[in-house]
Amino acid sequence: MSTLIRGGTVVNADQTFRADVYCEDGVIKAVGPDLDAPAGARIVDAGGAYVMPGGIDPHTHMELPFMGTIASEDFFTGTAAGLAGGNTLIIDFVIPNPQQSLLEAYQSWRQKAGKAAGDYSFHVAVTWWSDQVEQEMGVLTRDHGVNSFKHFMAYKNAIMVEDDVLMKSFRRCLELGAVPTVHAENGEVVYLMQKALLEAGITGPEGHSLSRPAEVEGEAANRAIAIAGLVGSPVYIVHVSCKESLDAIARARAAGQRVFGEVLAQHLVVDDSVYRSGDWLQAAGHVMSPPFRPKHHQEALWAGLMNGTAQTTATDHCCFCADQKAMGRDDFTKIPNGTAGIEDRMAVLWSEGVRKGRLTPQEFVAVTSANCAQIFNIYPRRGRIAVGSDAALVVWDPNATRTISAKTSHQNVDFNVFEGLEVTGTCAVTVSNGKVVWENGQLDVEQGAGNYIPRPTFPVVYDAVKLRNELARPSPVAREPSAHVTP
Ligand code: URQ
Ligand code: ZN
Ligand code: ZN
């Protein structure tokens, strides 16, 4: 299959230039002006539009079993909705039950993802610790293209891990050349605040927000960063939602520590007033963790993306319909946590970011695709329009408008936190594996067409602990200045 995208302006994270793009057998074969295409090639007219690397969403949970139910979006409908929005790769999460083999869980998630319409990869969560976990992390990196491991500091009595596991697992990640990532909220404090609120008779969705204030996230982010610093590993903080976490990341990065921050499109535009709407279902539809914050955190998050404190954007796409959210009708701690975003992330980032002068088109490519590809070691296979890169790209119409609504979305969920938001800038065409899968508002996808994208580990170039010990060794006793040195 061959496709020629003609007449567009190519935008990479570091360059913008007029060029045609020719793809064949799922790979970009030529980038340049006035390209010819062989007979039979699909021609896509990109005149007046941008040709950009397909979006990478590093944080999704398709058909996740969670809080007594299963997320309503599956790998087919979720990746298809992503393709409609310009997203050509998801990094989802294998989340083993505590005491479950990581490998067994990985195989189960690989089986579920087999129906995907678009490409996918996996972080694997470390939800418990043993010699077996340590050993299986090695197998996953060596044999299965996993180079990132997730740690939940929240969700006590479920998938939360304590600091000792963070220390051991971060150390193991360093040994393997893998990236540890964390959901940073202090699960012990959340648990106590939940109990206190329920005892005080606060059972509605507003209790969710009250039980996990920004300080609870900032403390955990700071703690994860401190532990990573002691170990010498990098650390990637997912769904950074508040200034407190950004400040912790900025301090660490200023000190030369390798810390990354991810921001959700939802937290950039929605604030905590949604929990005080008086409409239970509306408020419950916004229950996710971390919760939506007071408005001033949004400008901090935008600043974090603009100044490089945060590098990636994501959605944490984890969908629950009204009947599922109603499980917590009498107790907010039972409302399944999660919201949707995979179809709208790119348009929200363009409309609220680029159109409002916060991001340049190149910075848009960086935070929706290229930075993520680099952090998780699949650049320039992904995250760049270049010869040899995968033919996973979008033709972006910077001026087209649409109004976001659950009613017109391709996502398999009856709620959208961006409901009614008019966005300027939409995905006109999506090419996935070299095939046009979205054009003229129509999806042309098939179950199972998505590929698993393995992510290689990074070279292990030093033993941080040994290095740290060497650096910490007391300097030799200061020598007397030798006689010949004149004062
Ligand atoms: O915490 C997460 O990232 C998963 C369980 C999705 N739910 C959520 O509220 N973010
Ligand atoms: Zn999370
Ligand atoms: Zn998540």
Compute the distance from residue 445 Cα to the ligand 3 centre, in Å. Answer: 26
Q: What is the pLDDT of residue 486?
A: 53
Q: What is the mean pLDDT of residues 420-447?
A: 98
d(CA 90, CA 121): 6
Q: Which tens digit of pLDDT belongs to each residue from 200-253?
A: 999 999 999 999 999 999 999 999 999 999 999 999 999 999 999 999 999 999
In the predicted model, is pLDDT for residue 474 greater than 70?
Answer: no
Q: Which tens digit of pLDDT belongs to each residue from 445-456?
A: 999 999 999 999
Given phi > 0 = left and psi -120 to 50 = alpha, else beta, which region is 357? left
Which residue's CA lies nearest to atom 7 of ligand 1? 338
- 66 in contact with ligand 1, CB cutoff 6 A: yes
Q: Which ligand minimizes its atom distance to the CA of 123?
A: 3
- 338 in contact with ligand 1, CB cutoff 6 A: yes
Q: Which ligand minimizes its atom distance to the CA of 320?
A: 1
Q: What is the pLDDT of residue 406?
A: 98
Compute the distance from residue 478 Cα to the ligand 2 centre, in Å. Answer: 50
d(CA 269, CA 73): 23
**Mean pLDDT of the residues in the chain:** 96
Split at pLDDT 50, 70, 90, the class of 300 is: very high
Compute the distance from residue 6 Cα to the ligand 1 centre, in Å. Answer: 40
Tracing tokens 């994501």 back to the chain, one arrives at 314
Which residue's CA lies nearest to atom 10 of ligand 1? 289
- 337 in contact with ligand 1, CB cutoff 6 A: yes
Q: What is the mean pLDDT of residues 314-337?
A: 98
Compute the distance from residue 316 Cα to the ligand 1 centre, in Å. Answer: 6
Compute the distance from residue 316 Cα to the ligand 3 centre, in Å. Answer: 5
Atom of ligand 1 nearest to the CA of 95: 5
d(CA 117, CA 115): 7
Split at pLDDT 50, 70, 90, the class of 333 is: very high
Atom of ligand 1 nearest to the CA of 238: 3
Q: What is the mean pLDDT of residues 14-19?
A: 98
- 183 in contact with ligand 1, CB cutoff 6 A: yes
Q: What is the pLDDT of residue 487?
A: 44
Which residue's CA lies nearest to atom 2 of ligand 1? 289
d(CA 88, CA 372): 13
Compute the distance from residue 423 Cα to the ligand 1 centre, in Å. Answer: 25
Split at pLDDT 50, 70, 90, the class of 462 is: confident
Count of other CB atoms within 10 angstroms of residue 362: 16
Q: Which ligand minimizes its atom distance to the CA of 339?
A: 1
- 417 in contact with ligand 1, CB cutoff 6 A: no
Contact 343, 60 (CB under 8 A): no
Q: Which ligand minimizes its atom distance to the CA of 90?
A: 3
Compute the distance from residue 276 Cα to the ligand 1 centre, in Å. Answer: 21
Which residue's CA lies nearest to atom 3 of ligand 1? 316
CA–CA distances in Å: residue 394 to residues 28, 50, 242, 298, 391: 13, 8, 31, 27, 10
Which of 327-331, 415-419, 464-468 has the lowest average pLDDT?
Answer: 464-468
Which residue of 316, 332, 333 sits with most ligand 1 atoms within 8 Å of its CB, as the best mutation to test the pocket? 316
Q: Which tens digit of pLDDT belongs to each residue from 42-98?
A: 999 999 999 999 999 999 999 999 999 999 999 999 999 999 999 999 999 999 999
Q: What is the pLDDT of residue 353?
A: 98
Atom of ligand 1 nearest to the CA of 287: 9
d(CA 348, CA 395): 16
- 289 in contact with ligand 1, CB cutoff 6 A: yes
Q: What is the pLDDT of residue 288?
A: 98
Percent of the chain whose predicted confidence (pLDDT) is above 70 = 95
Residues whose CB falls within 8 Å of the CB of residue 299, separated by 6 or more in sequence, listed in order: none
Pairing relationship of beta strands 42-45 and 2-6 according to DSSP bridges: parallel
In the predicted model, is pLDDT for residue 483 greater than 60?
Answer: no
Q: Which tens digit of pLDDT belongs to each residue from 118-163?
A: 999 999 999 999 999 999 999 999 999 999 999 999 999 999 999 9
Which residue's CA lies nearest to atom 1 of ligand 1? 289
The size of the chain, in residues, is: 487
Contact 54, 368 (CB under 8 A): no
- 288 in contact with ligand 1, CB cutoff 6 A: yes
- 318 in contact with ligand 1, CB cutoff 6 A: yes
Q: Which tens digit of pLDDT belongs to each residue from 370-384?
A: 999 999 999 999 999
d(CA 406, CA 411): 8
Atom of ligand 1 nearest to the CA of 64: 5
Q: Which ligand minimizes its atom distance to the CA of 340?
A: 1
Q: Which ligand minimizes its atom distance to the CA of 325?
A: 1
Compute the distance from residue 288 Cα to the ligand 3 centre, in Å. Answer: 9
Pairing relationship of beta strands 16-18 and 9-11 according to DSSP bridges: antiparallel
In the predicted model, is pLDDT for residue 476 greater than 80?
Answer: no
Q: What is the mean pLDDT of residues 254-265?
A: 98
In the predicted model, is pLDDT for residue 427 greater than 50?
Answer: yes
